[in-house]
Structure 1
Amino acid sequence: MSYSMTGYGQSAIQQSGYKIQFEVKSVNHRYCEVVLRMPREWNGFEEGLRRLVQQHMRRGRIDVYITRESESQGNAMTLNRAAAESYIRAARELEQAYGIDGRLGAAEILSLPDVMIPAAAPLEPSDSTDWEQVLQQGLGLALAEIVAMRGSEGTYLARDCRLRLENLQAAHQELVRLAPLVVEDYRTKLRQRLAELQDGSFALDEQRLGMEVALFADRCSIDEELARLGSHFVQCSELLGSTEPKGRKLDFLIQEMNREVNTIGSKANHLALGGHVVEMKAELEKMREQAANLE
């Protein structure tokens, strides 16, 4: 199965008079980067929670938010001083740089995003709850949701990549068919051109003509590039059908296929063949965009 690197999942559980909320977001990233934000009393559980995330997802930047709210407190809010101070500093910088009035009133600051956040009620000293197990359970529920979402989108991306691959294979077959005609067309055009220039003052040297055509055939031969493309197509098809993370390998294969197509375009001086090269480059670009989102 294929997985996208973007997704979202959430869950909430009640335990010991608290409501614990879990929110997991993921976006594209070259590696697997896990960022955890939770009440400081639970910082000792961070490594275990990080390993749990990495068991479910191999690539992407994954942001995990865990908040705690006492059921007796309801929707109590608290001031996020770091966010408020960053807004104030930004306003002062604008005032210094552009002469804009940078004064912010208390009401304006409190209305800005993330300045007021849900209060994290302190844990009761006598609470004997195994909070690590509770956090693992709640995070596991959120991870199951985001993995399902990533799997659904990844299946669509892989299906689209496979469609692009089929289009590339069809164009490749046309290139294989046209490749021998390139030399024949050149021979015919060269003979016609020489016939047009023939005024009876020189004899057409068939041997020289044959040498010129042979040199052209050697310069414009695309047999090796076509063979390598065929091999890349097989590898790409196998990769898309595998269950392993495939984004980075697929990106590498697309680069290699693009290199071969560019070489074919530069070597083969033929109108019909050039049209298929342009078509293949367009399909590879679309395929690259989709592969960039795969885990």
Structure 2
Amino acid sequence: MTLSSMTGFARSHGASGSYAWSWEIKSVNAKGLELRLRLPPGLDAVEVAVRGRAAEMLSRGNVYATLTVNREGIAPVVRINQPVLNAFIDAVGNLVGKVDAEKPRLDGLLGLKGVIDVADAEESADEKAAAEEAIVTGFVAALKGLADMRRHEGAAIAKILGTRLDEMAALAARADAAPGRQADAIKKRLADQVAVLLEASNRFDPDRLHQEAILLATKADIREELDRLAAHIAQARKLMAGGGAIGRRLDFLSQELNRETNTLCSKSNDVELTNIGLELKSVVEQFREQVQNLE
């Protein structure tokens, strides 16, 4: 399975009987899956089916879907709202003799709001049901287009993530091989610091200082952090090779990578190791930013 981004865009359109419809779908990053629909009046029946299809094909993302529907080739039906017209006529009759005005004309009465209703011809239940089925099928087609675009972007993100993992592994190897983390270098550094303290005052106990130096040397060792970094990098590669909706798990791994990098920087007492740690921190952050786009 390939990786998928959470961002994408797709359209589909078609016709069924007198209905002409079009879908426009776009998706952006989100923690979960949320489908936001905009449907024309009278077509609420498609919502349940549409939501079900979206849940089957997508795992994460804010998905915005807009449906536009027109009825073509249908002559409009003009109806006179007789109760409203009668109410206007009665009102005018009550004013006769009270107001100096011309008698109302037919075109004036028909122009009053609510007197005339213009609507599409009523369709049969079978025609509407067929149109609703075609609209749902069109939504599935648009979803497939959206999923294809998300997979295409996911493949590009996977290449970037692979490069970042390679950079992390190279930096970890540099840190492992850095002269400053070798036992002899740490021993010499601590010995020099102890000598400076002894020269500054004769109140320090040499044996006690030696014990503290050994403790500090143990705490300064970054072997454990390097091993955990290697394990997290290997796990990330394994997840990416498996594909699927792994965005949340990679996000967790990026947090763990960042934690180990911070510890490495805090334990480093060598300029080269500190610089490597800062570079590693930057690469881990770039990795995390890209992971935020994955499904």
The normalised TM-score by structure 2 is 0.75
Structure 1 counterpart SS, 2:73: coil
Deviation of 1:271 after TM superposition, in Å, equals 0.8
Question: Hey, what's the Cα distance between the residues in 2 that align with 1:173 and 1:122?
Answer: 75
Structure 1 residues 188 and 56, CA gap change in structure 2 (3 angstroms): same
Aligned 1:60-139 pairs, distance under 5 A: 60-72=61-73, 124-125=123-124, 127-128=126-127, 129-139=129-139
The CA deviation string for residues 149-171 of structure 1, in whole angstroms up to 9 with x for no partner, is 11111111111011101100111
Structure 2 counterpart SS, 1:241: helix
| Aligned alpha-carbon RMSD (Å) | 2.8
Deviation of 1:226 after TM superposition, in Å, equals 1.7
Question: Hey, what's the Cα distance between the residues in 1 that align with 2:124 and 2:217?
Answer: 85
Question: Hey, what's the Cα distance between the residues in 2 that align with 1:159 and 1:28?
Answer: 19
Structure 2 counterpart SS, 1:5: coil
The question of 1:269 aligning with 2:292 is answered: no
Q: Which moved more, 1:137-146 or 1:177-186?
A: 177-186
Structure 1 counterpart SS, 2:42: helix
Structure 1 counterpart SS, 2:269: coil
| Counterpart residue number, 2:34 | 33
Letter of the aligned partner of 1:63 in structure 2? Y
| Counterpart residue number, 2:228 | 228
Structure 1 residues 121 and 226, CA gap change in structure 2 (3 angstroms): farther
The normalised TM-score by structure 1 is 0.75
Deviation of 1:35 after TM superposition, in Å, equals 1.3
Deviation of 1:39 after TM superposition, in Å, equals 2.1
Q: Which moved more, 1:182-191 or 1:58-67?
A: 182-191
Identical columns (%): 33
Asked whether the equivalents of residues 4 and 153 of structure 1 are also in contact (C-alpha less than 8 Å), the reply is yes
Letter of the aligned partner of 2:144 in structure 1? A
Question: Hey, what's the Cα distance between the residues in 2 that align with 1:198 and 1:249?
Answer: 52
Asked whether the equivalents of residues 194 and 209 of structure 2 are also in contact (C-alpha less than 8 Å), the reply is no
Question: Hey, what's the Cα distance between the residues in 2 that align with 1:276 and 1:234?
Answer: 20
Question: Hey, what's the Cα distance between the residues in 2 that align with 1:65 and 1:11?
Answer: 11
Aligned residues: 248
Unaligned runs of 5+ in 2: 75-118
**Bigger radius of gyration, 1 or 2?**
2
Structure 1 counterpart SS, 2:242: coil
| Counterpart residue number, 1:111 | none
Unaligned runs of 5+ in 1: 74-119
Deviation of 1:181 after TM superposition, in Å, equals 3.0
Question: Hey, what's the Cα distance between the residues in 2 that align with 1:177 and 1:263?
Answer: 18
Structure 2 counterpart SS, 1:63: strand
Letter of the aligned partner of 2:219 in structure 1? R
Aligned 1:1-295 pairs, distance under 5 A: 1-72=2-73, 124-125=123-124, 127-128=126-127, 129-178=129-178, 181-192=181-192, 210-295=210-295
